[in-house]
Each structure stands twice: as structure tokens, then as C-alpha cells.
Structure 1
Amino acid sequence: MTKANTSRFEVAPELINPRASEGAKRLMRYLCSIYGKRMLTGQQIGVVSTPEFDMIHRVTGKYPAVGGFDFMNYSPSRVERGAECRDTDLAIEWWNRGGIVTFCWHWNAPKDLIDLPPDRTWGSGFYTKATTFDVQRTMSDQGSEEYRLLIRDIDAISDQLKRLQDEGVPVLWRPLHEASGGWFWWGAKGPEPCIALWKLMYERMTHVHGLNNLIWVWNGQHKDWYPGDAYVDIIGEDIYPPPRITAPKRSGSARRSRIRMQGRSSP
């Protein structure tokens, strides 16, 4: 029997945004203080409500520490087709109950949705198979309609993040997730345009919209897709075990001053 490796990186509670809010700093300090010592439970909510939280409480007597929310239905190409979303309101409620908030964004492509049932409809517009939107061409042409629509979409989500900032809610912000899998349009053309999109999003949200409540969580799955230490606070990874295999998975160590988190979500 070999001795388990118990070594871990020491992580500093430093954020990439020098103007990070005190709430974001406190949350990062807390995460760093428990790194390698404790594990936080989390739960991604359903589409319109949070029954999972209450169900977990009924079974265990405790609520999860982290509530996961999604800006998916705030995507303009979904809103213009009638989609509605309450996740920002639900996240504010969760924070006021003492929970930690994390958001992802299943970003419906800004345009060029295929709209073919059963699995290529506009409702699946974040999947590569459901859109012809080309992120590589878009990022190489800042004068194009496609680029303008990218900015429109980022601005729309920034409005929601600003609501959270106004309520004092720090956010573990996990955009452009699982890009290296290729099943989402933002990862369909390789790492270069995806990294460029990440940096565009960071610069616009931070310097144009003044969003200082964000802790930037990169979930790109492969090192070639990493935007760089100047653009990432926490490194995360999604794990998909084979069907009916429920053994716990163990994440690797942190990269330099970055925390490595482990999660599981559906593409």
C-alpha cells in the first residue's frame, strides 16, 4: 500500500481585479482558509425555482453551502423568443439566507440558430449542433454584426450581475464552461477564439460595467484553453464518471495561487 499524497499548494486570497469588492474579497479569503481542509456542498437549481434546496434540507437537516444559478434564459436570443428567467432574484434570496452564489451561463448563440426539432431547436442554442454561429470568424472581425451581438449579450448579462452587485452579492462567476469539449459554440473553433472571448468578457465586465463582485472561475478542462493568471481566480473541473459509477472523484492540486475546484454539470 502506498502512502497517500497529502501535499497541497498554499493559496493566497488574492483576486485578479484590483478593485474587487469587500464581499468578493471576504468570500475568497473564506475559500482559501478552508482549501485542503473542508469541502463545501453545492446544488444547481432547476429552471424556475429552488425545490432542490428544500428537498436536501428535508433529507439531511441542512442546506447546501453553495447555490448554483444560470443566466441561460437572460440570453437575448432566448428573451426575444419569449424565455423568462428569475435566477437573479433567486440568487439574491439565496444570498440573503446565508448561501454562497455561483453562476454559469449556457449562452444561447447571439444569432444563426438552426431551429430544427427535436434537438437543434432555439432552446438548445448553446450547443454547437444547434447553431451555425462561428466564434472564430466573429472574434476576428470587430466590425461585424456578429461581434456587435456578442457585446450586446455580454452587456445584457452584465446588467444582471450589476443587480447582484447592488445587493452586495459576490458571485463565483463561471462563464464559457467546458469549452474544450467542443459541444458548446464558444469552444467549437479551438482555444484561441475562446480565450479571446474570455478576455473580452473580462475587460468589458470589469472596466466598462464596473463589476467588482466577481470571482472568475475558469472551467476549461484543458490547459491549452487557459486564459492566463491575469484573467482567472479559480480553476475548476467538471467530471463525468461512467453511468452508475458513484465512487467519489478527487481533484488535483491548485495551480500556483489558484484554487482548483471540482464540480459536475450537464453540457
Structure 2
Amino acid sequence: MLKKIILFSFAFTIIGLQKVVAQKLSHPNPTAETRALYQNLQMLSTKAILFGHQDDLAYGVGWKYQEGRSDVKETAGEYPAVYGWDIGKIEHAAPNNIDGVPFDKMRDYIKAGYERGAVITISWHFDNPLTGGSSWDTTRNTVRAILPMGEKHQLYLQWLDRAANFLLSLKGAKGEYIPVLFRPFHELTGHWFWWGSRSTSPEEMKEIWRFTADYLRKTKKIDHLIMVYNTNDFKTSADFLRSYPGDEYVDVLSFDTYQFDLKNKDRFISEIKRQSEIVTRLAAEKNKLAAFAETGFENIPDPNWWTGTLWPAIKDYPLSYVLVWRNAGYMPSSKKMHYYAPHKGGRSAKDFKRFSQNPRVWLEKKLRTKKIYQNQTN
């Protein structure tokens, strides 16, 4: 028992140190709103875990593009605290993203979430610039081809310019840039994307991350990005960090892990605890934020998943937010339902309501009171 008390005390000492010193972004000159957001997320991470949902405002189970709707809101009575979006297909100057969301609508949804005081995070499922295939085309070493002097470097610059134009179009009511937790090359320790572990080397991955960050910051003059390093499929701290580009290029350490069947509940919980321990410890050592950037259980077959699985897995760790994937509803291509957040009438709706009432789980109403885009510490 004494050992447990000592360990518990040590853990919160580390968290306390993180709260005091982890205030500086990797960007040398961020906007005031971006700096305030990062500092406030640091302080809140010792008190609460923000709940997020991908594409929450755009569509849900049985509906699409209906103003004011949200599956999370219709089950919990309020919007999520974190909104996830993806800019896949922006590289082709397409009107809609990889999941069919018009970029014009996405811009409006991002502004609406920001004006309500929520957090915005953006990933990028971009196509393979070397082969012309999708993000999942791992047939060749594409990262090497888009590095400086690579055969597709100029094309990559064009794609970055298009992404930058969208990011620079995200502005609030006063013309200020909306801060974005930007999560490029996500799940980079996995093997399923062209930037993943089987298709490139750790050194190449580090180089392209640094180049991308420098290009967006220095060449495109984007000062409102909080850079999120994101992994999947790691066993040790060394695994997690094997493609890490350096503290001067990262602000948030994060990971993605999903549950895939009812039988592995205990294994899933223990895995999330193990990964959370690694990531939050590294974040404290590096004075960064930690986050559970993607998770979920497709169609949520466990009616008590929120309080019986997710919360036990994350409750002991200072994770700034947890985000579940999108509610696409019925997908004709696969002829099945596809959703990760609760929805009205869904089997887990009542349990999610209980989960959302946990004083340490924050949705948008509690977060709004903190005015996270202003310099304050309360």
C-alpha cells in the first residue's frame, strides 16, 4: 500500500511540474489565441479530459448537413468539446474532402465550433503523390520521393500550398486565425499508410515532418498550428519515439487505438492503460500535452462501453482529450452501419449520458466557461 501511495504521489508531482513549466509552443511566434489555447489545455489536462468527435456537425446516423444537429448533442444535451476534421483531397483542390464534406461547409463548422469555445483538430488523409493511389497505397517509398531533391517534391509543395490556403482561411469573427491542433502523418508507427513504418525509414519520416512544419511556418507564415505527433501500434517508449522529429517540432504527443470485438474488452483496457502511461510520462518529461487522438468501437455493440470500458481505461492519466471517430451511418459500399459516437436511440445512448455527466469528462458547456482562447489561468 505504501508503495502505491508513493507512486501515486510521484505521478501527480510529475503532472504538477508539467502544469508549471509546459507552457511554450514549438512555434517561436504563435498567435495570441494559439498560445492561450495551448497554455489553457495544459492546465485543464490535470483536471479533466475533453471529449471529441470526428465530423460531429456535418452528419450523423440518419442525417447530413442539418444546421444545429449533432449526434453527441442529441444524446448528451450538448456539443463535444473537441471537433475533429480531415482535409484529405484538399491536395487536389477538390470541393469535398475524403468523406464527402464540402470544404466550404467544413470551414463554417470549424468557425462555429471555435466561436462556441471548443477545440479544433485536423488530420490529413492525403493521397499517395508518387503512385496516384490513396493514403493506403504502401507499394513504394513515397516519403523519399517527396523530400527535397525527390522526384515528387514539387508536387508535394503544391499540395502543401493548397493545404496552407485552407488553414489560412480559418478565421474568427474578428479576423483572427483559428488555432488548429494539426495532426499530419497520423498513425505513423503503423504500417497501413504510405508514410507508415513499412514504407519509409524513421530518419526519412523525421525529415519530412521537419520539412513540412518549417514550410508551413516559415514559408507560408502559418502561426496558428499546434503540432500533434500521432502513433499507433507501439509497445515501448522507443517504439513511440522512433520517428519523433524533435521537441522543437511537436506540441502534443498522442496515439490512436480502437476496440474491435467484445471478447477483447479487458485486453483493450489494459492496452490503453499501458499506452497512456507511456505517452503521458513522455509528455511530462518533454513538457508537452498528451492526447488519445482517435478511438472507438464500431457501432458500439457494448451498451455500457463508455462507463464500463473507455472511462476505466483513461481515468488515471492526464490526457488532454479523447476523440472518437465519425458517425457515417449506413454505408452502401460495405452494406453496414458505421458509427463511433452515440446517437439518439442507440444502444449506448443512456450510458454515454452517464459518461458525459462525469465531472472529469468535459463537453462544450464546461469548456466554454474557461474561455480557452484568452490568457487566463482559472
How high is the TM-score relative to the length of structure 1? 0.83
Structure 1 runs of 4+ with >4 Å offset? 77-84, 245-248
Distance, in Å, in 2 between the alignment partners of 1:239 and 1:147 is: 32
Q: 1:164 aligns with which of 165, 170, 195?
A: 170
- For the 8 Å contact 1:74–1:85, the answer to whether it is kept is no
Query: What residue is the counterpart of 1:107 in the other structure?
Result: 126
Q: Bigger relative contact order, structure 1 or 2, given CA contacts below 8 A and separation 6+?
A: 2
Give SS of 1:219's match: strand
Distance, in Å, in 2 between the alignment partners of 1:85 and 1:73 is: 10
- For the 8 Å contact 1:73–1:84, the answer to whether it is kept is no
Query: What residue is the counterpart of 1:135 in the other structure?
Result: 143
What number of residue pairs does the alignment pair up?
252
Query: What residue is the counterpart of 1:208 in the other structure?
Result: 219
Distance, in Å, in 2 between the alignment partners of 1:78 and 1:55 is: 27
- Aligned residue identity for 2:129: P
Distance, in Å, in 1 between the alignment partners of 2:27 and 2:145 is: 29
Give runs of aligned pairs for residues 1-267 of structure 1, distance below 5 A. Answer: 3=4, 5-6=7-8, 7=11, 8-9=14-15, 10-11=17-18, 12-45=22-55, 49-51=58-60, 54-76=70-92, 85-86=102-103, 87-114=106-133, 125-129=134-138, 132=140, 134-139=142-147, 141-142=149-150, 144=151, 146-165=152-171, 166-187=175-196, 188-221=199-232, 222-244=240-262, 245=264, 249-250=272-273, 251-252=276-277, 253=280, 254=283, 255-264=285-294
Kindly provide the CA deviation profile for residues 41-91 of structure 1, in whole angstroms up to 9, marking residues without a partner as x. 000117x92447622111111211000000013122866999773223321
Give SS of 1:75's match: helix
Q: What RMSD, in angstroms, separates the aligned Cα atoms of the two structures? A: 2.8
- Aligned residue identity for 1:19: N
Distance, in Å, in 2 between the alignment partners of 1:80 and 1:196 is: 30
Distance, in Å, in 1 between the alignment partners of 2:31 and 2:93 is: 31
Distance, in Å, in 1 between the alignment partners of 2:257 and 2:149 is: 35
Kindly provide the CA deviation profile for residues 114-134 of structure 1, in whole angstroms up to 9, marking residues without a partner as x. 5xxxxxxxxxx01134x6462
- For the 8 Å contact 1:113–1:133, the answer to whether it is kept is no
Q: Percent identity?
A: 25
- Aligned residue identity for 1:195: K
Distance, in Å, in 2 between the alignment partners of 1:178 and 1:263 is: 10
TM-superposed CA distance for 1:16, in Å, is: 1.0
Q: Comparing 84-93 with 251-260, which one deviates more in the overlay?
A: 84-93
- For the 8 Å contact 1:74–1:84, the answer to whether it is kept is no
Distance, in Å, in 2 between the alignment partners of 1:36 and 1:107 is: 34
- Aligned residue identity for 1:74: I
